[in-house]
Chain A
Amino acid sequence: MTTNYENIAEAVRTGEEDVVQKLVHQALDRGDSPQAILDEALISAMDEVGQLFEQEEIFLPELLVAANAMKAGVEILKPLLGEDAIKSYGTVIIGTVQGDLHDIGKSLVSMMLERGGFKIIDLGTDVSPENFIQSLKDNPETKVLGMSALLTTTMPEMKTTIEALEKAGLRDKVKVIIGGAPVTNAFAQEIAADAYAPDAVAAKNIVRQLVGEED
């Protein structure tokens, strides 16, 4: 049994989705419990990958490829475990603010949050305050609103959006996190955002704190 899990772990580490799926099926056919496969094979492999990433032994693309492979395995287990077994920390709406087309950082934050257990609604770039608000109304379960800006000319849009949230009576419903290369913690405080994150990994941890689900 352990050898099989070692195989799965290896396939997660190297990001081989097909192999992970094949091995998960084999383990199920053999009669292993889905919960055991999830915890002892997939999650533990991913924890290990996460540690390697923190030690800078592996890099972000390798981490993401591994996360995809794990996800491929989880997809098979999901119907067997029931939705509840896979923890979701809640919904996050995210977008790059109006007038701004930079999306590499924003998409990376989305990806990290999704891998970190959040449901993501990514509104893309050039998102107006109205669009953020509409999306919040359409998805009332949303816990966090994330905004990214890379230009000093578009940073003020973050403030405008927060003000629009207030006007719409929605400010208390969500936590607001902001980021992007020119954005600072001081700016976040100035515009009364709830949090700022310097990078995508920090964003995931901070958003977990915001929703009261610290690791």
Chain B
Amino acid sequence: MKKTVRCNRYRPFNDEQAKMVHETVLRVLGEIGIEVNEEEALELFQKAGAKVDADKSIARFDSELVMKLINQAPSNVTLWGREEKHKIVLGEDRVCIGTGGTAIRVVDLDTGETRASEIRDLHDMARLCHHLDNLHLYMLPLYPNDIPKENVDLNRFFSGIVNTTKHVMGGVYTVEGVRDVFEMCSLIAGSPDEFRKRPFISMITCVISPLKMDSHYTKLMIEAAKHGIPVVCPAEPLCGATSPITLAANVVHQVTESLAGVMLTQIVNPGTPVILGTVSSTTDFRDMRYICGGVEMGMISAAEAQMAQFYGLPFYAVGGMSDSKVVDAQAGYESAMTTLLNVLAGANFVHDAIGLFDFALTMSYEKCIMDNEISGMAMRAAEGIRVDEETLAFDVIKEVGPGGSFISHKHTARNMRKEHFLPKLSDRNIREKWAAQGGKDAARRAHDLAKKILDRPPEPQLPAEKLSAVTDRFPQIVYPAK
């Protein structure tokens, strides 16, 4: 699997424009402020120096305070896997890609029917994603509709941890659930301290556009920051609905709102790992429905990545989705477009980019396979063209000379895998061979590939004694999930 690569070739803003966005963000924070519907947070902001209008629960921040708190936050955040090779450092212009969530439906791999997702699907998704080379970070992509709400957090995180050693990120639903998850992870790590040293999970909270912090999610944010667990504070301004219709203003909203979350975590626990985040998108003007396949989503997210780099904060970007309901041409081109824009901008973690479509409501195993391929190609583009003596290959050109051939040259064998992405899904056969293999389109081939991985018996990625320790302690965990 490729490590994260570095890239910052796509800059939606020039320096002057980035500065204008930044100044507008500061004006919004200073003049309009954020509505904070959580007592503790409002007090914390006030103590830190924000101007608080207690009647309206509004906190306003002057630019010095904003910059001071931003500068306290680490520029790089490590997301550990349970294998060294899966360790990811988010920050600067490094890029990686993963799933997102939380979808509530899945396209059944066997029947092709779209149905409510269940806990068994979460296990299957994790099993599949464990084997996808171009998926670097696993976000819990589904909601288990067959599990009682109070056991959802535990079952979701367990489904990830037991099936993949990649870092597991996820949204959370209840405070008790968060505690259970902490306890389970501590059991697996050996102790709470061991777990805190190398947290192999992270959590997502949210700030609500326009300009609001909700009580429940702000509590979760404070809780995670206290524990020093990496936490994402995404905002999701939607053009024309919860932000102005213009892309620049959408970026201003996202940056302002997510920064409010970042600032809070830094007041709670200076230096705690925090990630600026976006789920920004656009709307369908016919009914203002949320859409996730527009090219603008990729542009906004890339622009926000540029702002995150400007602030020196790690970034949780959004892209790689489609509004199609089936794995078809639309699913492919929409997903590829926004993934690529993000990756070329050095957006640190492109979430939602594997398997998700249908207004972010449905996950598809086949689309996971297709997006893994898109991710591989995008990462290759991000790596760029290496230029040095070896790659310019003057000596080789001279040696082979006019009219010669490079096929059997050592230089070719030595460099081909390094320089070229090898697709697993794309068909590159001659027509006759393709026809002889069934004349399958990409969706059908993706289906076969997914099936091949999932037909293997599950291999638990936890040692037997840890597995039984966890399932004994938490009998509400459904395992094995059928």
Interface residues of A (CB under 8 A from B): 56, 59-61, 101, 104, 108, 152-153, 181-182, 199-201
Contacts and interface: CB of A to CB of B under 8 A. Distances in A.
B214 A60 contact: no
B441 to A, nearest CB: 29
A181 B242 CA distance: 17
Given A56-B286, A60-B287, A153-B152, A182 B238 contact: no
Interface string B176-197: 0000000000000000000000
Interface string B215-250: 000000000000000000000001011100100000
A136 to B, nearest CB: 25
Given A60-B286, A152-B145, 12 more contacts: A60-B285, A61-B240, A104-B241, A104-B290, A153-B143, A153-B173, A181-B359, A181-B361, A182-B104, A199-B287, A200-B288, A201-B287
Q: What secondary structure prevails in chain B residues at the interface with A?
A: loop
Interface string B272-294: 00000000000001111110000
Contact of A59 (B173, B208, B214, B286): B286
Contact of A108 (B152, B173, B208, B288): B288
A104 B288 contact: yes
26 contacts: A56-B286, A59-B286, A60-B286, A60-B287, A60-B288, A61-B245, A101-B208, A101-B214, A104-B238, A104-B241, A104-B242, A104-B288, A104-B290, A108-B287, A108-B288, A152-B116, A152-B143, A153-B149, A153-B152, A181-B290, A181-B359, A181-B361, A182-B104, A182-B361, A200-B287, A201-B287
B288 A152 contact: no
Interface string B359-378: 10100000000000000000
Q: What secondary structure prevails in chain A residues at the interface with B?
A: loop
A201 B287 CA distance: 8
Contacts of A181: 290, 359, 361
Contacts of A61: 240, 245, 285, 288
A153 B150 CA distance: 10
Given A101-B214, A199-B289, A152 B104 contact: yes
A56 B287 CA distance: 10
A214 B287 CA distance: 22
Contacts, number: 38
Contacts of B286: 56, 59-60
Interface in B114-172: 116, 143, 145, 149, 152
Contacts of A108: 287-288
A109 to B, nearest CB: 11
Contacts of A60: 285-288
Nearest to B145: A152
A60 B289 CA distance: 10
Nearest to B360: A181
Nearest to A99: B216
Nearest to B215: A126
Interface in B284-314: 285-290
A49 to B, nearest CB: 14
A56 B149 CA distance: 41
Contacts of B116: 152
Interface centre among B104, B208, B240, B288 (most CB of A within 10 A): B288
B235 to A, nearest CB: 13
A189 B359 CA distance: 24
Interface centre among A56, A153, A200 (most CB of B within 10 A): A153
Contacts of B104: 152, 182
A50 to B, nearest CB: 13
Nearest to B289: A199
A201 B152 CA distance: 35
Contacts of A56: 286
Contacts of B245: 61
A37 B145 CA distance: 54
A119 B40 CA distance: 37
A91 B289 CA distance: 26
A101 to B, nearest CB: 6
B71 to A, nearest CB: 31
A56 B116 CA distance: 32
Contacts of A182: 104, 361
A59 B285 contact: yes
A130 B244 CA distance: 35
Contacts of B238: 104
A102 to B, nearest CB: 9
Interface string B96-120: 0000000010000000000010000
Interface centre among A61, A108, A152, A199 (most CB of B within 10 A): A152
A182 B290 CA distance: 13
A108 B18 CA distance: 33
Interface string B200-214: 000000001000001
A154 to B, nearest CB: 9
A199 B289 CA distance: 9
A6 to B, nearest CB: 27
Contacts of A59: 285-286
Contacts of B361: 181-182
Nearest to A108: B288
A3 B32 CA distance: 44
B440 to A, nearest CB: 33
